[in-house]
């Protein structure tokens, strides 16, 4: 027997689910992380591997996550335990849910800090701080900003309070309208920014950088990062999409929803790349600008374009909203579990989870300034959290989800849940989830730790 509703509430319509899941997927990952990681690994080859990962690994795994969530109708930990027991498998599969909680915890801790940067930049843009600035000045401005732990702490705290506030009310209330209007607005603004980039005189150079593969710059770590970026950007491998799936009604088509969600997410990332790289070249900057890239590049454009003060403010504001709707999904698996297993009210659960994440985030923001000398494997705390969570934990969670959905769950159960019949679509999913996704992720992970030479 599978439950038809969740105790945490349900999405009112399939559209509400698509909006929420797209809200989770589209965020800092697309606009902040994608351009700078692509720049770090040489552009085109990274983008190509990323796109292949989205299509061949991300889409089938997203279908699997939603399917498992909807069948379990509980937090990822309890969903995995329930489904494993139902299928006669070991209850240890719930560890997958636990790993997701840890990954979500790590991700949100630094994500909130970066969302804080975005909030600070709303005010800078509105106050006219970018008027006529050159590349050097913006870069200096960013450097000074992240050197100030108090400012970072204030913004990080505000963002965490905002995220807790929404999760405390329940994700099905309060999220829908913000995604419905903000997302299309962000999209249009990005298109306009790409239009502006076309006037920079370096558009072709930027686009070529993004799309012409040069494998010499990619390397093992580049492949790992491209795969990690696909998981991160699609919100996969940690239970966020699974928990959102658990609030989806039983009739809705999973496959169509996934194509819309993943397609939008990928398009937004590509648009962000097309808006930023031409400006990188137009201002004689190197693509290896690091995690400050958007903050070091776009303000130059806002400082020059007509109406830049308005567009800059709007852009950073919409980015805050995009980050907000992602942060909520990072908290939800933890909160759902606290409500189910500890009997907490949503408000209490959200506050508890929020405080824990907030504390960890302080370590991240201090690693940018006071603790910048403390490194492990050459990475500061924030970069380490990002690397481990995105490139190791999410893909690992993804492989386990693929193995569970493809090998542990009875074929009849997935046929029943995906509602694609037993036709070409289902068989393609079956092939991808059973063989392609787990083998590809395993090869990349093993190659990265040096256990396998590509």
Q: Which residues bind ligand PHE (CB under 6 A)?
A: 24-25, 27-30, 107, 232-233, 235, 238, 240, 326, 329-330
Q: How far is the CB of 29 from ligand PHE (least distance, A)?
A: 2
Decide whether 24 or 37 has the Cβ nearer to ligand PHE.
24
Give the ranges where 234-289 is alpha helix by DSSP (H). Answer: 240-245, 254-282
Burial of residue 52 (CB within 10 Å: 0-12, 13-18, 19+) is middle
CA 216 to chain centroid, in Å, comes to 27
Q: How far is the CB of 225 from ligand PHE (least distance, A)?
A: 14
Decide whether 18 or 28 has the Cβ nearer to ligand PHE.
28
Taking residue 407's Cβ as centre, other Cβ atoms within 10 Å add up to: 12
Q: How far is the CB of 114 from ligand PHE (least distance, A)?
A: 9
Closest of 341, 256, 329, 420 to residue 79, by C-alpha = 341
Give Cβ neighbours of residue 333 (< 8 Å, ≥ 6 apart): 75, 76, 77, 97, 100, 101, 104, 238, 239, 240, 242, 243
Compute the half-sphere exposure of residue 257: CA atoms within 13 Å on the CB side of its CA: 29
Decide whether 107 or 368 has the Cβ nearer to ligand PHE.
107
Q: How far is the CB of 24 from ligand PHE (least distance, A)?
A: 5
On whether the CB atoms of residues 58 and 299 are closer than 8 A, the answer is no
Decide whether 282 or 320 has the Cβ nearer to ligand PHE.
320
Output the DSSP codes for 6-73.
Answer: -TT---SSHHHHHHHHHHHHSSHIIIIIHHHHHHHTTSHHHHHHHHHHIIIIIHHHHHHHHHHHHHH-
Decide whether 129 or 230 has the Cβ nearer to ligand PHE.
230
Decide whether 24 or 79 has the Cβ nearer to ligand PHE.
24
Q: How far is the CB of 179 from ligand PHE (least distance, A)?
A: 13
Compute the half-sphere exposure of residue 243: CA atoms within 13 Å on the CB side of its CA: 32
Strand partners, 376: 379
Q: How far is the CB of 34 from ligand PHE (least distance, A)?
A: 8
Q: How far is the CB of 370 from ligand PHE (least distance, A)?
A: 27
Decide whether 24 or 413 has the Cβ nearer to ligand PHE.
24
Give the ranges where 343-451 is alpha helix by DSSP (H). Answer: 346-366, 381-386, 394-403, 411-418, 424-431, 437-448
Rg (C-alpha) for the chain, rounded Å, is 21
Q: How far is the CB of 234 from ligand PHE (least distance, A)?
A: 6
Taking residue 50's Cβ as centre, other Cβ atoms within 10 Å add up to: 27
Decide whether 130 or 232 has the Cβ nearer to ligand PHE.
232
Q: How far is the CB of 395 from ligand PHE (least distance, A)?
A: 12
Q: How far is the CB of 327 from ligand PHE (least distance, A)?
A: 8
Decide whether 129 or 186 has the Cβ nearer to ligand PHE.
186
Closest residue to ligand PHE: CB criterion:
29
Q: How far is CA 243 from CA 48, 60, 160, 370, 380, in A?
A: 30, 17, 20, 37, 31
Decide whether 107 or 279 has the Cβ nearer to ligand PHE.
107
């Amino acid at each position: 027997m599978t439950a038809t509703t969740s105790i945490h509430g349900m999405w009112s319509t399939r559209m509400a689910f698509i909006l929420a899941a797209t809200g989770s997927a589209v965020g800092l990952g697309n606009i902040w992380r994608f351009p700078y990681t692509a720049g770090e690994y040489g552009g085109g080859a990274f983008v190509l591997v990323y796109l292949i990962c989205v299509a061949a690994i991300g889409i089938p795994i997203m279908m699997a996550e939603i399917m498992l969530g909807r069948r379990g109708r509980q937090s990822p930990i309890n969903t995995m335990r329930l489904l494993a027991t139902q299928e006669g498998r070991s209850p240890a599969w719930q560890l997958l849910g636990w790993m997701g909680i840890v990954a979500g915890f790590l991700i949100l801790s630094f994500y909130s800090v970066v969302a804080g940067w975005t909030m600070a930049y709303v005010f800078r843009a509105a106050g006219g701080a970018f008027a006529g600035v050159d590349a050097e000045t913006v870069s200096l401005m960013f450097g000074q900003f992240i050197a100030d732990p108090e400012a970072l702490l204030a913004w990080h705290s505000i963002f965490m309070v905002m995220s807790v506030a929404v999760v405390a009310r329940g994700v099905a209330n309060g999220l829908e309208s913000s995604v419905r209007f903000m997302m299309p607005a962000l999209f249009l603004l990005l298109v306009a920014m790409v239009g502006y980039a076309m006037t920079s005189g370096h558009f072709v150079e930027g686009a070529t950088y993004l799309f012409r593969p040069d494998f010499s710059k990619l390397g093992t770590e580049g492949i790992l990062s491209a795969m990690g970026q696909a998981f991160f950007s699609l919100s996969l491998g940690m239970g966020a999409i699974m928990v959102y799936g658990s609030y989806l009604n039983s009739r809705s088509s999973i496959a169509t929803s996934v194509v819309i969600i993943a397609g939008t997410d990928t398009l937004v990332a590509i648009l962000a790349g097309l808006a930023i790289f031409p400006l990188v070249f137009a201002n004689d900057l190197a693509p290896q600008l690091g995690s400050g890239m958007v903050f070091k590049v776009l303000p130059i454009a806002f400082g020059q374009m007509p109406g830049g003060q308005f567009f800059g403010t709007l852009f950073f504001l919409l980015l805050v909203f995009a980050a907000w709707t992602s942060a909520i999904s990072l908290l939800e698996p933890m909160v759902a579990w606290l409500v189910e297993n500890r009997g907490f009210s949503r408000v209490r659960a959200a506050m508890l989870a929020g405080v824990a994440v907030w504390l960890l985030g302080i370590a991240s923001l201090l690693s940018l300034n006071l603790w910048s000398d403390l490194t492990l494997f050459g990475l500061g705390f924030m970069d380490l959290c990002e690397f481990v969570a995105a490139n190791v934990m999410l893909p690992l969670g993804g492989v386990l989800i693929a193995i569970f959905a493809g090998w542990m769950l009875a074929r009849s159960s997935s046929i029943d849940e995906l509602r694609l019949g037993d036709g070409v679509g289902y068989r393609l999913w079956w092939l991808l989830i059973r063989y392609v996704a787990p083998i590809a992720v395993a090869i990349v992970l093993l190659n990265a730790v040096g256990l396998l030479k590509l």
